[in-house]
Amino acid sequence: MAKAKKSSNNDVVKVDFDFRRQLATKVEGNLASFCYQCGACVGDCPAATYSDEFNPREIMLKVLYGLGEELMVEDSVLWQCTNCYNCAERCPQDVKPAEVIISLKNMLADLGIYPPTVEKIIGTFEKTGRTTPLSPAVDRQREKFGLPPMQPVPMDEVSKLLEPAPGEEETE
Amino acid sequence: MKPFAFFPGCLIPVRYPAMEFAIRQTLPKLGIEIVDLEGASCCPDPIYFKSKDKLAWLSVAARNLTLAEDLGLDIFTNCSGCTATLSEAYHLLKDDELRDKINKRLKRIGREYKGTSRVRHVATLVRDEAGYDAVRESVVRPLDGMKMAIHYGCHLLKPSKIMNVDDPNNPTVLENLVEAIGATPVRHRNWYLCCGKACQHEGIPLNMMHALLSTVEDVEAEILCLICPTCFSQFDHGQVKVSKHFDYDFHIPPVYYFQLLAFAQGVPYEKLGFDRQRFKPECLQRFAESSVHVEG
Ligand code: SF4
Ligand code: SF4
Ligand code: SF4
Ligand code: SF4
């Protein structure tokens, strides 16, 4: 078993319900509550296979204990997940560790913490409505294949969707 | 011809127009009419923007789906990432509470999500709406004897409860599509592995791709056939990195399935943009002449 809590007294684990409540406001953020720590999600997890630091069962355990401070850090282990969903296929409890991990990343984003490459791509999307930037060379290439030039995304519409409405976040 | 709304996403039209060209060439020959979606944005991507804010992500995805709803058409994508986002949005928005929440945002731009346009990847669409026999009949130069490994990638099949496409542990859809163009699909031991693109820790994807490419080489495949532009860039650009890192020269051209289909349907090799790949599927050239012998 992994050490769940860096505590001076190993027998006492204090569950931080605040962290769990916050996670539960994210779409499918509360799924970890159903985790019974069987470890079925680990066997086919490629990140766990190739990294000693990453283990979806341990991440779910940290969530159950509310050990947010170990996950809400720069260079968080969460970013080692490949989003492959093998864990969700294997979980007998329908926990979808992949989705819980994305919800945790949403919490990281609330704190303004992103890996630089991720922040850059998000920026491109929020500015242009696409993750891949356009350039005149793009349209020249398209023309070679008889394809019309790219059209700009109607950002007046898209931008309006990005702001939350007051009090709209999910509750458990 | 049956009409479907085409959601091209960003990566294919912007970076890999040859793939879009191939889609536009091949589908009409299978009885599928392509209807373009005006005003679509990024799906948005299921790795980066989704990690920032799932509700905003769902709202933008829902807006894209309403564009197809306006036309009264089902939607198809050409990228596994777009398939993941739009399928997941379609699935999650069956929940009344969540749909209400998203519709409150859509109201700001005078739109409403109804849930009437189904989402499929183009590979699934071809299987369901045209069928493998139609693919076989459209081929004028079958790629006889060519061994092809297949990279399913993650989001065509998984999460399987949302995608509902095929058995994620033993899928057949891409094998059947490869067979339909005359080639021989070969399963490699690491077929289940993903490319690791979403992982922000370089060592992990390098190891994953190394493991995968090694087993593709073991089965002596001439091409790694795939259906997603992100998987493609990982195995094209990424293969150079893997070769350097492990000091081993891999030479496995990754090719998008619909470019192979276009070639098999008779589109000349030179028109399919292969010159822009780092690993070119020159093995296809041995069929270049065979388009003359159309079988009755
Ligand atoms: S498979 Fe599901 S229940 Fe088992 S440890 Fe993983 S998340 Fe928890
Ligand atoms: S999606 Fe699940 S199985 Fe895949 S890398 Fe992430 S935790 Fe592991
Ligand atoms: S999944 Fe990728 S290609 Fe598809 S729309 Fe999103 S970012 Fe663009
Ligand atoms: S194989 Fe890579 S690019 Fe393809 S779907 Fe999986 S993670 Fe995404």
Query: The domain spanning residue B79 has which CATH number?
Result: 1.20.1050.140
Confidence at residue A167, expressed as pLDDT on a 0 to 100 scale: 73
Give yes or no: residues B146 and B87 share one domain.
Answer: no
Q: Report, as an integer, the average pLDDT of B249-268.
A: 98
The answer as to whether B80 is a domain residue is yes
pTM beyond 0.80: yes
The atom of ligand 1 lying closest to the CA of A100 is: 7
DSSP string, A32-90: GGG-----TTTTT-HHHHH-SS--HHHHHHHHHHT-HHHHSSTT-GGGG-----HHHHH
pLDDT in tens, A80-105: 999 999 999 999 999 999 999 999 99
What's the confidence (pLDDT) of residue B146?
98
Which parts of chain A have pLDDT scores under 70? 1-13, 169-172
Residues B61 and B173 in one domain: no
Say if A93 is an interface residue toward chain B (CB within 8 Å).
no
Nearest ligand 2 atom, CA A82 = 5
Where a domain ends, among B70, B93, B122? B122
Contact A132 B17 (CB under 8 A): no
Following DSSP, what letter does each residue of chain B receive, concatenated? -EEEEEE--SHHHHH-HHHHHHHHHHGGGGTEEEEEPTT------TTTHHHH-HHHHHHHHHHHHHHHHHHT--EEESSHHHHHHHHHHHHHTTSHHHHHHHHHHHHTTT--------EEEHHHHIIIII-HHHHHHH-SS--TT-EEEEE--STTT-SHHHH-SS-TTS--HHHHHHHHTT-EEE--TTTT----TT-SSTHHHHHHHHHHHHHHHHTT-SEEEES-HHHHHHHHHHHHHHHHHHT------EEEHHHHHHHHTT--GGGGTGGGSSS--GGGGGGGGGGG----
Q: In the prediction, which pLDDT does A11 show?
A: 58
Query: Span B94-105, mean pLDDT?
Result: 97
Say whether domain A12-110 belongs to CATH 3.30.70.2470. Answer: no
Decide if the complex's ipTM is over 0.90.
yes
- Of the candidates A28, A138, A145, the beta carbon closest to that of B18 is on A145
B257 pLDDT more than 90: yes
- Give the closest residue (by CA) to ligand 1 atom 6: A41
Range of the domain at B268: 141-287
Q: Which residues of B touch A54 (CB under 8 A)?
A: 204
For residue B202, count other CB atoms closer than 10 A to its CB.
11
pLDDT of residue A165: 81
Claim to verify: residue B74 and residue B147 sit in the same structural domain = no
Cβ B54–A114 below 8 Å, yes or no? Answer: no
Structural domain contains residue B131: no
Determine the pLDDT at residue A171: 47
* pLDDT above 70 for B117: yes
Q: Is the predicted pLDDT of residue B266 greater than 90, yes or no?
A: yes
Q: Is B37 within 8 Å of chain A by CB?
A: no
| Distance between Cα A94 and ligand 2 center (Å) | 14
Total domains in the fold of chain B: 2
In the prediction, which pLDDT does A17 show?
85
Q: Say yes or no to pLDDT of B18 above 60.
A: yes
Separation CA B19–CA B29 (nearest Å): 16
